[in-house]
Structure 1
Amino acid sequence: MPKPLDGKNALVTGASRGIGRAIAQRLAADGATVAIGYANRPDAADQVAAAITADGGTAFPLPAPLGTHGDAAALWAAYDRRITAHTTRTGVDIIVNNAAIGRSPDLHTITETQFDELFATNVRAPLFIVQQAHRRLHDNGRIINISSGTARLAMPDIMAYGATKGALDTLTLNLAQLLGPRNITVNSLAPGIVDTDTNAAWLRDDPDAQAWASSLAALGRVGRPDDIAGIAAFLASDDARWVTGRTIDATGGALLGV
């Protein structure tokens, strides 16, 4: 039986763990050939690719350290070398800009270097990944930028991180306008608090933190990576062909009464 993403090529950055891993696995389950972008954990990326292969999908690890000049060009050069070993179709159909520095110091302690690193990884890299993908990206393609609920909620302790996600949403809006004539959709997907390895230290083993985080969401629980992956799969599919330039709230209804 045909799958919704049969014959499609996908790149997911930051896919060796957490939300990126869940998205990569879901896109592969839906039929896509998936490049597992990673920065410094080749072992973890290999495990994701192996798990996808064991489930009958197609995936390969792709070294993709971000945050320095030339990072996007290096990523796509590696992609071009590796994609042909896994499919006869070149180019890319789905780009998921997920890799990011996930937190930031507060106003009183953040340094200029930390600020620059945040924007280089969370904003500059996605912009140039799309720029460098332009000749590789097929018509009717999909770009999904992983934003955050912090772009619309005041959270002063991590305000610089939130600012990067607000900037990413602005990129989404403009890229949707620019690429619309090619039937390429561009959307942001904004999770709230999700139970990932990144949040494990303060969330996973602390019942009080779990209760607090759950209380923020109208749906009464903390998000899971597969919650976000399901929405990403929809945005990547033909069913979402008439949705572009939008930021999709995936917070479980966080702070709706505020």
Structure 2
Amino acid sequence: MASKTGPARIDWQPIPRTRAYELVIRQIEEQILAGALHVGDQLPAERDLAARLGVSRAAVREAMRAMEAQGVVRSGVGVGPDSGTFLTSMPSKALTQFLRLHMALANFPIDDVVETRIMLERWSARLAARQASADDLATMSTLLDAMDSESADMRAFNELDTDFHVALADAAHNTLITEMTTAIRHSMRSMVLDSFREHGDWPTLSARLHTQHRAIYDAIAAGDPQRAADAVEEHLRSAAATLGWSTRAD
């Protein structure tokens, strides 16, 4: 249901008609950032919002479609308390997909991606070493065993590698870190697989990667945050250098 202190008290300002639907979105974003709109608040009806903003109903309709696709609003049809357009929190899977697509399309410099992964996964490893549950450890151990048995299959190894890093982030029990790590690692899957194929000595490479993953797991299982963080960074920097991604000095 709508918040009692929600949209009715907002001073909506008319906006220019040029690219009107984007400006509708911008003004709604501004109200969210200002704290005037919250999850669960109901937006004004299409006709009312168009009148308040000085734009066409078509512009409002297009803005709502775009924001619904982003997981920011949900629309209910019919009559009653569930009808209308409401602000909603983006489900984690939608957020991951959103980030993953932007990561894949934005062509960020690989050095920036590697450094961001190091920052995120060092923090994940520290947290995981402090608070990983028995289930978290069991998941990581199972993935490592599977990586060992699938070491001859590059594609299967790559999928398990991705799953291991996501499991590491899960073990940190920080939702945002998990979603960001998942998005980045998933966006890199094709590039990683191509790099595996181009390396030329897959048995040696897979054995090295597996050893590094085991070192990360052992540090987390031992409850040693510093060793876990250092093991993750060593693994990511070593992989980047071996696969020819990074030109920065370690």
Using structure 2 for the length normalisation, give the TM-score: 0.24
Bigger share in strand: 1
Bigger share in helix: 2
